[in-house]
């Protein structure tokens, strides 16, 4: 049987039409398929591979840690140097309210941990989230997800979760003394890159202060330079009570985290003890890889280049078929008339040597979230291929 047939037979499938794009190798911003064809990667593993595929510093850190030890004990019981070093490095870049890092296996597990922490701290259960939001697919995170389409087959979910339009005053008004937390992305990625007004974010922050509600920022996609700063909350000057991290956190290895104050996080240590536990969260190899990627990101000053690269994409992506281009750094959504034409363009891009995809809640939009190491020349070539693909689709 072919690899494709084995993939379809034995790998649990998430759709009836997987891309079945078989990768042989990945370097920098390039994906090489099993036929030897090279594609420019405009997805970056969904904002994971910020420092590029096959980054030497990351690979060296992985190899070094593999020779020392892999898993030794469940999370939080023994001192593992990669965890401690990475947590310390992250804390040095974060404000005083965000100094305690709880490492998980993934972003959705970070969401789950943050929900439990909010309930534990406040003693309340009401939660607020937003339509067209994405926070993961486990049952708690799914309860926050902003779409009945994805929720309906798995009900009943958590009670007491209320959803509002992103950016609405109604959400602010709904925060009261019974609200444990409000969970939001500081940029709604899967909605097609929606950037909220600064005044709205500040009003949310103030209402949380007034009511004792915890503000949770999901920066699983936006952190580590994606939007033009290490963390998006820095740009808007709104500090959350709990910060969710994932994707680029692990430098290409599986890793997530939720971050809060030591005072809050210590509530998991009693009544009950082991209030939140994980076996593989903060795996030493993942933490070593993540720390190497984090240091590379800072040392190479990649973040300083983000807005220039964003502007270059915007200046080149001009076509009569493009309805709008939403951007926040190198998180970009190219909107077309509908899903059908977008999917045809995406498929043609892959044929022509650009790997891209669509957004969960904006299926008419083409995703651009490349490794932050992408060069001007690679951006120019990628845009040229996108425009060529649009023309070829329109001529069909």
* DSSP secondary structure letter of residue 291: H
Residues forming CATH 3.40.640.10 domain(s) in the chain:
56-299
Domain 56-299 in CATH 3.40.640.10? The answer is yes
Dist CA 199 CA 103 (whole Å): 32
Q: Which part of the chain has CATH 3.90.1150.10?
A: 3-54+301-394
pLDDT tens track for 39-52: 999 999 999 999 99
What are residue 216's DSSP bridge partners?
183, 242
Q: What integer pLDDT is reported at residue 7 of this predicted model?
A: 83
Please name the helix (run of DSSP H) or strand (run of DSSP E) that holds residue 103, with its range, or none. Answer: strand 100-104
Please give the Cα distance from 161 to 130 (Å, whole number). 10
Residue 19: the pLDDT is 82
Which residue is it, tokens 């845009």? 383
Q: Which of 124, 153, 161, 125 is nearest to 137 (CA)?
A: 153
- Residues 259-277 have pLDDT tens digits of 999 999 999 999 999 999 9
Residue 15 pLDDT: 81
What is the C-alpha radius of gyration for the chain, rounded to an integer number of angstroms? 21
Give pTM, 2 decimals. 0.97
29 and 371 Cβ atoms separated by less than 8 Å:
yes
Q: Which fold has domain 3-54+301-394?
A: 3.90.1150
State which residues of the chain have pLDDT below 50. none
């Amino acid at each position: 049987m072919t690899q494709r047939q084995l993939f379809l037979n034995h790998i649990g499938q998430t759709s009836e039409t997987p891309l079945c794009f078989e990768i042989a190798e990945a370097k920098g911003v390039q994906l090489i398929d099993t036929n030897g064809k090279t594609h420019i990667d405009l997805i970056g593993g969904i904002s994971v591979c910020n420092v590029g595929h096959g980054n030497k510093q990351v690979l060296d850190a992985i190899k070094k840690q593999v020779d020392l030890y892999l898993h030794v004990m469940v999370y939080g019981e023994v001192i593992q140097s990669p965890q401690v070093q990475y947590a310390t490095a992250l804390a040095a870049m974060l404000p005083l309210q965000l100094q305690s890092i709880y490492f998980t296996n993934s972003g959705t597990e970070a969401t789950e941990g943050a929900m439990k922490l909010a309930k534990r701290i406040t003693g309340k259960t009401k939660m607020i989230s937003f339509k067209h939001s994405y926070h993961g697919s486990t049952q708690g995170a799914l309860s926050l997800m902003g779409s009945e389409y994805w929720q309906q087959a798995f009900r009943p979910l958590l009670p007491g979760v209320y959803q509002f339009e992103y950016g609405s005053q109604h959400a602010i008004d709904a925060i009261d003394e019974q609200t444990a937390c409000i969970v939001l992305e500081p940029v709604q990625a899967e909605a097609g890159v929606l950037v909220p007004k600064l005044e709205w974010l500040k009003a949310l922050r103030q209402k949380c202060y007034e009511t004792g509600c915890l503000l949770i920022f999901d920066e699983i996609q936006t952190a580590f330079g994606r939007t033009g700063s290490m963390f998006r909350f820095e740009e808007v000057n709104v500090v959350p009570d709990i910060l969710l991290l994932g994707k680029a956190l692990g430098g290409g290895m599986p890793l997530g985290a939720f971050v809060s104050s030591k005072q809050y996080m210590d509530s998991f240590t009693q009544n009950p003890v082991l209030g939140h536990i994980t076996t593989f969260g903060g795996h030493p190899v993942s933490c070593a890889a993540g720390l190497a990627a984090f240091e590379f990101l800072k040392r190479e000053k990649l973040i300083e280049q983000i807005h220039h690269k964003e502007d270059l994409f915007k200046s080149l992506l001009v076509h009569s078929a493009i309805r709008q281009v939403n951007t926040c750094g190198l998180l970009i959504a190219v909107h077309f008339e509908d899903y059908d034409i977008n999917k045809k363009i995406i498929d043609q891009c892959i044929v022509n040597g650009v790997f891209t995809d669509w957004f969960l809640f904006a299926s008419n939009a083409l995703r651009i979230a490349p490794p932050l190491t992408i060069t001007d020349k690679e951006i120019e070539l990628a845009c040229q291929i996108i425009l060529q693909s649009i023309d070829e689709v329109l001529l069909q």
